[in-house]
Structure 1
């Protein structure tokens, strides 16, 4: 499965800790992330992460492109709901796109844990039947 990660600056440590806690599950999948989020995940987990540009300079657009091509199977986007910035990846655009293409998305740790544990059980295997591998 292809799993995408994005985190606003104030949530980078949370996403690092999340990935470290579920490293044994994530290691069986392809991981994608915006620039600095991907580097930080790699640093703490030693997992390979395919990195897009930083979200503030187009990484969120690359992320959306992969969703629109139906190449992303799950997205975890930890964002700060009380802080919006024109330089931050656009949670609304990404979540709308995930909804349009039936890509599961988690925007908080509780939902992210449910998705990752479901991934380990095979609950998301249906994505393999509809995913495009043109990426």
Structure 2
């Protein structure tokens, strides 16, 4: 599977902990991420990861393009709903593309746990 990882600044640590906890699952798949998130995931886990630009610099749009071209299978996007994002239109577009192309997208830890367990059990 091809899996994208994205996290807003205040959610990066939560995503890093989540990926570390489920490293055995993520290591079996091809990983993609926005810039800083990808760098931090790689530093923490040593998992190979293809990094796009930072979200505000177009990384969200790069991942959105992969979704539109049916080149991603799942997205873990730990969003910070309480902080205004300067690139909110890009975030909305990314989520909309996930819905249009029926890509499973976990935007919080609860959905991430459900999605990772489905991937682990090959129920995806």
Describe how 1:64-103 pairs up with structure 2 within 5 A.
Answer: 64-87=64-87, 90-103=90-103
Contact 1:31 1:48 in 2 (8 A): yes
- SS of 2:53's partner is coil
- Name structure 2 gaps, 5 residues minimum: none
Runs ≥4 residues deviating over 6 A: none
Contact 2:61 2:90 in 1 (8 A): no
CA distance in 2, matches of 1:104, 1:79: 15
The two structures, once aligned, show a CA RMSD in angstroms of 1.2
- Name structure 1 gaps, 5 residues minimum: 125-135
- SS of 1:93's partner is helix
Deviation at 1:90, TM superposition (A): 3.4
1:24 paired residue number = 24
TM-score normalised to structure 2 length: 0.96
1:117 paired residue number = 117
Aligned residues: 124
